Amino acid sequence: MTWPVGTGPDALRDALARLEPDAAARPGDVRMVRAPGRVNLIGEHTDYNDGFVLPAAIDLEIRIAYLPADDGRVELALADTGERQGFAIDAVGSRRGAWIDYVAGTAWAMREAGAPVRGFRGVLASSLPAGAGLSSSAALELAAAWALAGDRPPALPKMALARTAQRAENEYVGVMCGLMDQFAATFGEPGAAMLLDCRSLDHRAVPLPTEEVALVVCHSGSPRRLEASEYNERRASCAAAVATIAAFEPEVRALRDVTPGMLAAVGDHLDPTTRRRVEHVVTENGRVGDVVAALDAGDLAAVGRLFAESHASLRDGYEVSSPELDLLVEIATGTPGVVGARLTGAGFGGCTINLVRRDAVPALRAAVERDYPARTGLSPRVLEVEAAAGAGLAP
């Protein structure tokens, strides 16, 4: 993991000591927590349809060094710019449209959930690119949850903690995300992806063949366009489809319940765009189970085929890809040793996730750095990441 200059874990403690005389005087009371970003291997736009997802937490992360405080205030500074924001934990007020909203929203949601919350003085650093579709928001919520818990772990079971962070984002920040990102940032395990059934909340680790293949993120360097409004439009379209289908199939409560057979029978009652959206969700849910089975069987060729089907379905059916993401997938697919490539996260820009034979990573990097800028005028970033543990105390 590479930290931006001057923001590594040691620099973070030093920065806190410079800002807070109390932290300099009581270095033994300074704590450091971390929370990871995530990639999603498969199961895109399925979480808010009660379906299945297979994300992995990654070793790009947010860290907060902090000193718990009993004056009821949170004051947090960014290590790279020095910008400082704060709030009172019993009067968080309404959102400001700034990064502190994720911290204030988490404080609000933890109190709503009955978990004790303390103030702190802290400094935050991140090795996770923001706005790249790698869930820096969920990482900030989970790091905040740990810091707000003071000198002990958050007083909520892990799934309740993940849902509390999701509630902060849905109800305070105002983004209607599903549970996947907060789940991954909470439950991640080194060397594994995490399978979640978003209805029952059953979950398990799915070991990755990490000796053979690397996880490589390719960042398109293109801003995510219209993301919030388009995301909400997709959610609304799924909800409308459920209402139409349930008129014929009353047991359907979410698109998770729709089988390919049902879709064939009632699909004519959906407008063509909605039908394509539903087809994506129904087939994508099936692909999650198929990828898990292929990983369990060591069948990487099958994983690659399923990644390709997922990307095509997101591009043509759910319509959340972009020319830049399609090009990154095309370059990766033409590189020997790349097992699979697809967009990851919400789409509309952001990143692709690639499973790459370890000895082929330099070739993928070279191909992306040569062909992508020439065809887009944009600067890509190729990041080799490892599956990592969920949020907690930093080592």
List alpha helices for the chain, DSSP H. Answer: 9-19, 21-25, 100-112, 136-148, 158-167, 180-187, 227-246, 260-266, 272-297, 300-316, 323-333, 361-376
Q: Which two tokens stand for residue 133?
A: 């579709």
| Residue 198 Cβ vs ligand GLA, minimum distance, rounded to whole Å | 9
| Residue 77 Cβ vs ligand GLA, minimum distance, rounded to whole Å | 26
Residues 6+ apart with CB under 8 A from 112: 164, 167
| Residue 140 Cβ vs ligand GLA, minimum distance, rounded to whole Å | 13
Q: Which is nearer to ligand GLA, 3 or 48 (by Cβ)?
A: 48
Nearest to 303 by CA among 50, 57, 58, 54: 54
DSSP at 170:
I
Q: Which is nearer to ligand GLA, 123 or 165 (by Cβ)?
A: 165
| Residue 71 Cβ vs ligand GLA, minimum distance, rounded to whole Å | 34
Nearest to 109 by CA among 37, 48, 166: 166
Residues 6+ apart with CB under 8 A from 253: 50, 242, 246
Query: Which residue among the candidates 181, 202, 268, 299 is catalytic per the annotation?
Result: 181
Active site residue 181: yes
* Phi, psi (deg, nearest 5) at residue 317: -100, -55
Q: Which is nearer to ligand GLA, 44 or 189 (by Cβ)?
A: 44
| Residue 236 Cβ vs ligand GLA, minimum distance, rounded to whole Å | 14
Q: Which is nearer to ligand GLA, 181 or 279 (by Cβ)?
A: 181
CB contact at 8 A, 179 and 198: yes
**Under the rule (CB under 6 A), what is the footprint of ligand GLA?**
40, 44-45, 47-48, 177-178, 180-181, 345-346
Q: Which is nearer to ligand GLA, 178 or 340 (by Cβ)?
A: 178
Position 69: which residue type?
A
Residue positions annotated with a catalytic role: 181
